[in-house]
Structure 1
Amino acid sequence: MPKLDICFSPELLLLYDLRGRVAVIVDILRASSTIVTALGEGVTHVFPVASLEECAALGRQHGCLTAAERDGLPAAGFDLSNSPFGFRDAARRVRGRALAISTTNGTAALQRSLAAKAVVVGSFLNLAAVVAFAREQARDVLVVCAGWKGQFCLEDTVFGGALAERLAADFDVQSSDATLAALHLWQQGKADLAAYLEQSAHVRRLNSLEASQDFAFCLRLDAYATVLPIWQKDRLVDAARRNAALDEE
């Protein structure tokens, strides 16, 4: 039986062997939620990069949209910020366009996880798609929580618990204390997830920036239930669209 494990911070990745595993990159507030939304609203593919300079360069090189954030605030000189509503409210503008994005935590976590057999992006918005992919792969899964500047974040870990609950029949979720802790946190908070997570430092930080609308949206379960951003060569694409294109060939 494959194993599900949780890495609480990218700073702990050196303790894990990613080879042969599925890495699920999670930054609930907000990079992974924004990337899922972007692909769900018709962005063709996403270049997630660690630095603002690389993000701007990709925009010039590929003529794509750019989105960037630092410390929760929009970075100057880019088309969009790290808010899912930038893609929902401007769906006509983004549909059919590529996107380069750089954020404080999430895109860096993804770049540090590329040794995995498969790298996908997870959020509450696409939990069902992550579950289906993990079952299909039947490989060990490591949830990589982006955290906040290397530190633990409650909301990313709670997502890991939600994933563990849905995969409990098919995966070993008992042999890792990290997974057990995440599962217990999810079970404690799932009845009223927003109220539970409002206690967390990162949520209070985000809401202080008047981004409470983002917070509420990012907790919606399976709003994009079939969207699965998956790493392919140098970019993230929607696995469902990729598979459909392959079927047509």
Structure 2
Amino acid sequence: MPKLDICFSPELLPLYDLRGQVAVIVDILRASSTIVTALGEGISHVFPVASLEECAAYGQQHGCLTAAERDGIPAAGFDLGNSPFGFLDAERPVRGRALTISTTNGTTALRRSLAAEAVVVGAFLNLGAVADFAKRQGRDVLVVCAGWKGQFCLEDMVFGGALAERLAGDFDVHSSDATLAALHLWRQGKADLSAYLLQSAHVRRLNSLEASQDFEFCIRLDAYPDVLPIWQEDRLINAKN
């Protein structure tokens, strides 16, 4: 039976051997939620990059939309920040466009995880799609929590618990203390996820930036059941297209 494990922070990735595994990159607030939304709203593919310089260069090279954020604030000189609502604006058509994105935590976590057999992006918004993919692959899964500047984030860990609950029975979710902890957190908070996560540092940080609507959007379960961002060559595409 394949195993599900959870890496609290990209800084801990050297402790794991990703070869042959499925890596699920999760940055609930907000990179993974934004990428899922972008593909769900018609973005053709996404180039996730680590630096602002790379993001600007990709935009020029590929003629694509650019999205960038540092410390929760949109970076100057780019088309968009790191809010899913940037892709829900009727005045900015995105369908058929490519996107390059750089964020404080999420895109860096993804770039550090490319040794895995398969790399997908997970969020509450596409939880079911991620679970279904993991079951079809039948490989060990490592949830890579993007965290905040190397530190633990509650909302990413809670996603890991939600995924573990969906995979229980098909995966060993009891051999890792990290997965057990995530399951406990999810079961404690799932009845009222919004109220539970309002305690977290990252949610309080977002709310201080007047981005509370982003928080409420990002914790919607299975809003994009037909979106599974998967790494292919140098980009993320929707595997369900």
Smaller-chain TM-score bracket = over 0.9
Structure 1 position 91, deviation (Å): 7.5
State whether residues 42 and 91 of structure 1, in contact with CA within 8 Å, keep that contact through their aligned partners in structure 2: no
Structure 1 position 93, deviation (Å): 1.3
The C-alpha deviation readout for 1:130-175, integer Å capped at 9, x for no partner, is 0000000000000000000000000000000000000001000000
User: What CA distance in whole angstroms lies between the structure 2 residues aligned with 1:75 and 1:92?
Assistant: 18
* Alignment of 1:124 onto 2:106: no
User: What CA distance in whole angstroms lies between the structure 2 residues aligned with 1:226 and 1:134?
Assistant: 15
State whether residues 41 and 91 of structure 1, in contact with CA within 8 Å, keep that contact through their aligned partners in structure 2: no
- Output aligned runs, 1:161-240, within 5 Å: 161-240=161-240
* Alignment of 1:23 onto 2:46: no
User: What CA distance in whole angstroms lies between the structure 1 residues aligned with 2:236 and 2:90?
Assistant: 20
Secondary structure at 1:128 match in 2: helix
* Alignment of 1:4 onto 2:4: yes
Structure 1 position 92, deviation (Å): 5.7
User: What CA distance in whole angstroms lies between the structure 2 residues aligned with 1:65 and 1:206?
Assistant: 24
Higher percent of residues as helix = 1
State the TM-score, normalizing by the size of structure 1: 0.96
- Output aligned runs, 1:64-103, within 5 Å: 64-90=64-90, 93-103=93-103
User: What CA distance in whole angstroms lies between the structure 1 residues aligned with 2:202 and 2:13?
Assistant: 21
TM superposition outliers: structure 1 runs of 4+ over 6 Å: none
Match of 2:57 in 1: 57
User: What CA distance in whole angstroms lies between the structure 2 residues aligned with 1:130 and 1:208?
Assistant: 31
User: What CA distance in whole angstroms lies between the structure 2 residues aligned with 1:189 and 1:147?
Assistant: 18
Unaligned runs of 5+ in 2: none
User: What CA distance in whole angstroms lies between the structure 2 residues aligned with 1:108 and 1:90?
Assistant: 30
Unaligned runs of 5+ in 1: 242-249
Match of 1:246 in 2: none
User: What CA distance in whole angstroms lies between the structure 2 residues aligned with 1:190 and 1:161?
Assistant: 10
User: What CA distance in whole angstroms lies between the structure 2 residues aligned with 1:160 and 1:193?
Assistant: 14
User: What CA distance in whole angstroms lies between the structure 1 residues aligned with 2:220 and 2:90?
Assistant: 20
Percent identity reads: 85
Secondary structure at 2:174 match in 1: coil
Match of 1:32 in 2: 32
